[in-house]
Amino acid sequence: MRWILIISVMFFLTGCHPARNASSVSTSAYASYFEIQDSVIKVISPYDASVDILSVSEPMDRIICMSSSNVAALSLIGSADAISAVSGLRYISDKALHDRAVPDIGYENSMDYETVLSLDPDILVAYTVSGTEPQYLSKLRSLGIRVLVIHDHLEQHPLARAEYVRLFGVLTGRLAAADSVFNAVCNRYEQLAASVNVKEPVKVLMNIPYGDAWYIPGADSYMSHIIRDAGGEVLGSEPGTSRSKVISMERAYALSLDADMWLNPGHCRSIGDLTSFHHFFDRFGPVAKGLPVYNNTLRTTESGGNDFWETGAVRPDLILEDLVSIFSESPSDSLNYFFRLDQ
């Protein structure tokens, strides 16, 4: 694949920030919720600032991943063989895991504890969506399973999410390789962002209703940040917060009239899908004016897993590359995660 060739060349670049150079104390360059000191990982909770410390005495080669982004991180640093099980295999894009028939241990309320115990993992890497630990994690701990809860999905800077390859580098004894990967991704992302030169930001309408709610990401959110770095602006985005806000259909329509394009319209893969989703969408600015509509679902699994949230989490430079191309007057025909909806 093209991005593999790119990153293999960029391994020879030096780090673009002093904190990324190897040292006995390695603070995070972008990430807010973890730090590394030698072989010790410190995870900081975004909910209550509590700290979880893990000392890694030897490389781990039996890791269970509850998130597809963690699968991508391990794969990117050459440690895919350390993945002994996952949650939601059918939603994971990594073909190698399917070829190996890696076990699927299920989800919170349907956890296959027997399989987890039989695998005797070195660690199970999980995430939470609140400050209260889910019951299934407490049960795993009571069964003697070592659990590490990380918060990469709550990091708001695109490069902060990518930096978690370094955490997995410590777990697997491949920190040097992880540093090379992160430095390459970081350099390329920053070079792409620095190359953007627009007089006026491209005005972007985001998303479609999910259930009865239309969410617009806050100005400090992951998506708003990467769109801004590409030369765009999320219409209706609330300044000073990373939290999404819910807007009405009427408000979305008003925003659409100012939009230069529409991004990430849910499951829709054509303009016909979009107008079928809601009868009023044919009056929205980008559709009525024939302006571009792009979705980030170019690479999805049959069950609906989206590689944008898998490899894209550790390769934000590829997402940025797509958006820079899309926002230009001559977008590339070979995008990594996005495609333009046709009629």
CATH topology of domain 2-191: Rossmann fold (3.40.50)
pLDDT confidence tier of residue 25, bands split at 50, 70 and 90 = low
pLDDT in tens, 268-287: 999 999 999 999 999 999 99
Assigned token pair, 24: 């006995």
The model's pTM is 0.91
Quick one: how far is CA 292 from the chain centroid? Answer: 24
pLDDT more than 70, % of the chain: 92
Where are the chain's structural domains? 2-191, 197-340
CATH topology identical between 2-191 and 197-340: yes
pLDDT in tens, 207-249: 999 988 999 999 999 999 999 999 999 999 999 999 999 999 9
pLDDT in tens, 172-197: 999 999 999 999 999 999 999 999 99
pLDDT in tens, 71-108: 999 999 999 999 999 999 999 999 999 999 999 999 98
Instruction: Assign domain 197-340 to a CATH class.
Output: alpha beta
